[in-house]
């Protein structure tokens, strides 16, 4: 990895961690898109998992006072079940499927969630949310918009939403890293150095983003989240379609 790419990665990690610190997602979508240009699919997802695990983990730590551990426990159970299924079938990712899958995911933030009655505070809904989170995080690399639709109707403020989502996403990314560890272990030493350098940058970005989050209103938080995620998804979907041509 050249110095120019290393600097570019550092800036990307900071900005994407900043975005995730504010909106709880979007940053991870952009980071994965960049990594898919640099590495094979499995390696990119593994690299993404390591960085996002640090970014989400630090965000969960900064907001630890707001984590809902009851919901988190049920979410973890769902992630464990989906991971076990994908491990058992020896799932292998495909670039076009990843691009189109992630590109379509933002549609979820526009669904009429009031009619769907999804609520992560309900045990069954939290379990289903965990299933989707684990399955999508491993199969296409991200699951933020999917998790989000289960939290929109909960009686939580934006800080509790971010804290609990960051916690489950940290564990989902940890599972993803374990799934693709064979691909990650083959990275050259220079790339591992860039991962080590990215970790504190991701923490810094999450910290700055968390500070901005505290100054936002719940209304602005939800409105901006939809548009940012939709814009990123459109780029993914277009790229996936172009690769099919």
pLDDT tens sequence across 2-15: 666 677 777 888 88
pLDDT of the residue at 245 = 72
Q: Which of 157, 141, 172 is CA-nearest to residue 53? A: 172
Looking at residues 129-148, what average pLDDT do you find?
Answer: 86
pLDDT in tens, 165-213: 889 989 998 999 889 887 777 777 777 777 777 778 877 887 788 788 7
At a CB cut-off of 8 Å and minimum separation 6, what does 148 contact? 24, 25, 108, 109, 165, 225
Contact 97, 42 (CB under 8 A): no
Measuring CA to CA, how many Å separate 169 from each of 132, 162, 211, 227?
Answer: 12, 10, 20, 21
pLDDT of the residue at 84 = 94
What CA–CA distance (Å, rounded) separates 192 from 185?
A: 9
pLDDT of the residue at 2 = 64
What CA–CA distance (Å, rounded) separates 9 from 73?
A: 34
Contact 155, 122 (CB under 8 A): no
pLDDT of the residue at 135 = 92
Contact 31, 221 (CB under 8 A): no
pLDDT of the residue at 222 = 67
Looking at residues 119-143, what average pLDDT do you find?
Answer: 90
First and final C-alpha spacing in the chain? 30
- The 3 state secondary structure assigned to 95-157 is HHHHHHHHHHHHHHHHCCHHHHCCCCCCHHHHHHHHHHHHHHHHHCCCCHHHHHHHHCCCCCC
pLDDT of the residue at 24 = 62
Tokens of 37: 């240009």
Looking at residues 158-163, what average pLDDT do you find?
Answer: 82
pLDDT of the residue at 78 = 95
Percent of the chain beyond pLDDT 70? Answer: 89
Q: How many CA atoms are closer than 13 Å to the CA of 23, on its beta-carbon side?
A: 23
- The phi-psi region of residue 120 (left if phi > 0; otherwise alpha if psi is between -120 and 50; otherwise beta) is alpha
pLDDT in tens, 45-101: 888 888 888 878 888 888 889 999 999 999 999 999 999 999 999 888 889 988 988
Q: What is the dihedral of CA 51, 56, 58, 62, to 10 degrees?
A: 160
pLDDT of the residue at 165 = 87
Most confident of 107-111, 138-142, 152-156, 213-217: 138-142
What CA–CA distance (Å, rounded) separates 124 from 213?
A: 29
pLDDT of the residue at 167 = 92
- Residue 51 exposed, middle or buried by CB count within 10 Å (0-12, 13-18, 19+): buried
Looking at residues 152-174, what average pLDDT do you find?
Answer: 83
If one compares 20 and 171, the residue with the highest pLDDT of the two is 171
Domains of the chain by residue range: 3-244
What CA–CA distance (Å, rounded) separates 11 from 189?
A: 20
| Mean pLDDT over each residue of the chain, to the nearest integer | 82
């Amino acid at each position: 990895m050249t110095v120019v790419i290393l600097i570019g990665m550092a800036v990307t990690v900071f900005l994407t961690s900043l975005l995730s610190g504010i909106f709880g997602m979007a940053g991870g979508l952009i980071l994965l898109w960049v990594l898919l240009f640099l590495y094979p699919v499995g390696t990119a997802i593994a690299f993404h998992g390591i960085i996002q695990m640090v970014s989400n983990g630090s965000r969960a730590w900064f907001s630890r006072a707001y984590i809902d551990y009851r919901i988190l426990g049920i979410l973890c159970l769902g992630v464990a079940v989906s991971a076990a299924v994908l491990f058992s079938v020896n799932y292998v990712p495909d670039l076009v499927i990843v691009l189109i899958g992630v590109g379509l995911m933002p549609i979820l933030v526009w669904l009429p969630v009031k009619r769907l009655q999804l609520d992560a505070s309900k045990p069954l809904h939290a379990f289903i949310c965990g299933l989707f989170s684990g399955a999508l995080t491993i199969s296409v690399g991200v699951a933020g918009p999917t998790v989000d639709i289960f939290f929109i109707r909960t009686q939580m403020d934006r800080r509790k939403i971010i804290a609990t989502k960051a916690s489950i996403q940290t564990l989902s990314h940890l599972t993803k890293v374990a799934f693709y560890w064979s691909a990650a272990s083959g990275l050259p030493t220079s790339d591992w150095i860039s991962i080590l350098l990215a970790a504190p940058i991701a923490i810094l970005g999450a910290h700055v983003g968390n500070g901005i989050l505290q100054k936002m209103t719940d209304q602005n938080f939800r409105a901006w989240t939809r548009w940012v995620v939709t814009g990123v998804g459109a780029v993914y979907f277009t790229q996936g379609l172009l690769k099919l041509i």
